[in-house]
Chain A
Amino acid sequence: DQQVKQNSPSLSVQEGRISILNCDYTNSMFDYFLWYKKYPAEGPTFLISISSIKDKNEDGRFTVFLNKSAKHLSLHIVPSQPGDSAVYFCAANQAGTALIFGKGTTLSVSS
């Protein structure tokens, strides 16, 4: 039973445009939601997070939106850059427990 779902395996965007990555979850008890980025041959790196008590968190070009009623979150990257090309994982947890990851979305940003 997948508690965190990323239904789009891949996304292609042109440089300078917006990238929107989506994630759905089933567990209403999750306290935190996070996005990780992974380059080939490296471990995932933390990108941005949001607490369940908020609906938006922004960090530079990256913004995460949380819609608790729809059990949906999204990551917006504006403007997209070729260096953003990577696999993006959505993850979630209840405080103190291990993170549960989605399957990932591969983002390709073309120049």
Chain B
Amino acid sequence: DTGVSQDPRHKITKRGQNVTFRCDPISEHNRLYWYRQTLGQGPEFLTYFQNEAQLEKSRLLSDRFSAERPKGSFSTLEIQRTEQGDSAMYLCASSLPTETEKLFFGSGTQLSVL
């Protein structure tokens, strides 16, 4: 399978715990994006990387959130001291730099904070 892969698919955690999600993009895509989607809403942009450089962060990305893409391949999104409002589907997507409008999404990680 050469699509975008996300792990885990589901994560249940208690409020205050830290969680980390992983995303493996399509191999030839050097842009990688993180989005968040809550019920009844469209995907909301969080941040994106071009290779290992984090080029843009949304104001939605509070200081409890951190994303990395250390070698320009896979990426991790960490949420520290989770809150119930963090419960959402976290989507990763990748694209070619020449077609930044055409995103390929993974199936997402569904986070539930109890």
If the complex has contacts A41-B107, A43-B4, A98-B48, are A49 and B101 also in contact, measured as CB distance less than 8 A? yes
Interface size of B in residues (CB-CB distance below 8 Å) = 23
Alpha-carbon separation in the docked complex, A106 to B5 (Å):
25
- Note all chain B residues with C-beta closer than 8 A to A41: 107
Main secondary structure of the interface of A (DSSP, over half): loop
**A49-B101, A103-B41 known; A42-B33 Cβ under 8 A:** no
Count: A-B pairs, CB below 8 Å? 56
With contact pairs A43-B91, A43-B108, A98-B48 given, residues A89 and B101 touching in the complex (Cβ less than 8 Å): no
**How far apart are the CA atoms of A42 and B6 in the complex, in Å?**
11
Which of A49, A89, A96, A97 touches B42 (beta carbons < 8 Å)? Answer: A89
Chain A contact residues (Cβ within 8 angstroms of B): what range? 20 to 34
- Across-interface contacts of B108 in A (CB, < 8 A): 43
Most chain B beta carbons < 10 A, residue from A31, A34, A99 = A99
**A61-111 contacts to B (CB < 8 Å):** 89, 91, 93, 95-104
- Interface contact A99-B91, CB-CB below 8 Å: no
Q: Is the CB of A43 within 8 A of B100?
A: no
10 contacts between A and B (CB under 8 A): A9-B40, A34-B102, A43-B105, A43-B107, A44-B43, A89-B42, A93-B100, A99-B43, A103-B41, A104-B41
B binding-site residues for A, Cβ under 8 Å? 4, 33, 35, 40-45, 48, 56, 58, 91, 93, 100-108
Which residues of A line the B interface, CB within 8 A?
A: 4, 6, 9, 31-32, 34, 41-46, 49, 89, 91, 93, 95-104
